[in-house]
């Protein structure tokens, strides 16, 4: 199947003998879109079509136009090695878009392949929070399995409005960074709401403590910090180390005292031994 520039619709084939009551289901329309996403770097979950046990050994192929190439770029990926894609041309190039000399087929990780899609197909370079190449592709190739046709501004049913808005703004050439700031604010608001719910939960008080308890602990901690700051400012030794120093001084004095007593005892012992010797050797 070939696609052309602009809007492409995938429909089931009909024949002259087809009736209005003939079903167009299970013709492979959704499966084709799923395989396109698989070849363009979607996650290989257990429910992915290409990861089906009966299809894992099949290598799927896609040819697509690529900036800087005169011929279509060939892409291959299979369920057996779902973490990698094989390209028939080395289009990694550099961050400024310059191509490396052609080296034939090259195998890339899916993560690297996704980065190339973002850079070369969507012009995304550097940090671009709030905008994803995979989300942009989901807007361009909608999937029925993700309920991508339910709403025009979402690619799946649970997609947050701020996330969808920043990607749509980028596709439409609007100031997506301004929209992304709204997304960040919405995320902070959601976090604040969750924290408020947690604080209001009575279990939180039993685990962390009441507000009064926490304020008391904060006051004690702040007082301890101020004492340490004062000691440092006055070049005082921290009390714990001062006590250790006093103990070491006492032990040192005890050792000196014991050494002096040992000398005296040794002298007395020598005098006693001399007296005993004189008494024994007398007339």
- What's the pLDDT tens digit per position in 17-27? 666 655 566 66
- The DSSP symbol for 101 reads P
Q: Let me know if 128 is exposed, middle or buried by CB neighbors in 10 A (0-12, 13-18, 19+).
A: middle
Per-position b or e across 66-96, b if 16+ CB within 10 A of its CB? beeeeeebebbbbbeebeebbbbbebbeeee
Q: Are the beta carbons of 131 and 170 closer than 8 angstroms?
A: yes
Beta bridge partners of 60: 77
Question: Which tokens belong to 261?
Answer: 């007593």
Strand partners, 61: 76
Q: What is the C-alpha separation between 182 and 65, in angstroms, rounded?
A: 35
Query: For 171, phi and psi rounded to 5 degrees?
Result: -65, -35
Q: Give yes or no for residue 282 having a pLDDT over 60.
A: no
Structure tokens at 43: 């996650």
Rounding to the nearest 10 degrees, give the CA dihedral for residues 122, 124, 125, 128. Answer: -170
Model confidence pLDDT, tens digit, residues 40-95: 999 888 888 899 999 999 999 999 999 988 899 999 999 999 999 999 988 887 55
Cα separation, 58 vs 51, in Å, equals 10
Q: Which two tokens stand for residue 68?
A: 């800087």
Rounded (5°) CA angle 96-102-106: 90
H/E segment holding residue 121? none
User: Is the full-model pTM beyond 0.75?
Assistant: no
Angle value at C-alpha 241, between 235 and 245, nearest 5 degrees: 105
Confidence at 134, pLDDT banded by 50, 70, 90: very high
Share of the chain above pLDDT 70, in %: 84
pLDDT confidence band for 102 (50 / 70 / 90): low
Compute CA 48 distance to the chain's CA centroid, rounded to the nearest angstrom: 23
């Amino acid at each position: 199947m070939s696609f052309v520039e602009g809007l492409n619709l995938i429909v089931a084939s009909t024949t002259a003998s087809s009736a209005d009551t003939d079903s167009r289901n299970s013709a492979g329309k959704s499966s084709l879109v799923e395989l396109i996403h698989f070849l363009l770097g979607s996650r290989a979950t257990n429910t992915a079509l290409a990861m089906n046990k009966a299809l894992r050994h099949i290598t799927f192929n896609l040819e697509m136009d690529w900036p800087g190439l005169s011929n279509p770029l060939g892409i291959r990926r299979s369920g057996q090695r779902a973490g990698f894609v094989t390209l028939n041309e080395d289009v990694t190039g550099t961050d400024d878009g310059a191509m490396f000399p052609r080296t034939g087929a090259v195998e890339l990780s899916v993560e690297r392949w996704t980065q190339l899609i973002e850079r070369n197909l969507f012009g995304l370079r550097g940090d671009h929070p709030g905008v994803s190449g995979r989300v942009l592709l989901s807007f361009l190739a909608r999937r029925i399995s993700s309920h991508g046709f339910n709403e025009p501004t979402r690619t799946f049913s649970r997609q947050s409005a701020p996330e969808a808005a920043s990607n749509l703004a980028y596709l439409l050439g609007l100031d997506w960074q301004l929209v992304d700031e709204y997304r960040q604010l919405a995320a902070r608001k959601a976090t604040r709401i969750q924290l408020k719910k947690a604080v209001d939960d009575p279990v939180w008080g039993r685990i962390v403590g009441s507000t009064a308890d926490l304020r008391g602990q904060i006051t004690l901690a702040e007082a301890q910090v101020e004492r340490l700051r004062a000691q440092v400012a006055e070049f005082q030794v921290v009390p714990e180390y001062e006590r250790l120093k006093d103990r070491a001084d006492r032990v040192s004095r005890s050792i000196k005292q014991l050494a002096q007593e040992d000398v005296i005892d040794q002298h007395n012992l020598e005098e006693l031994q001399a007296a005993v010797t004189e008494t024994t050797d007398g007339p």
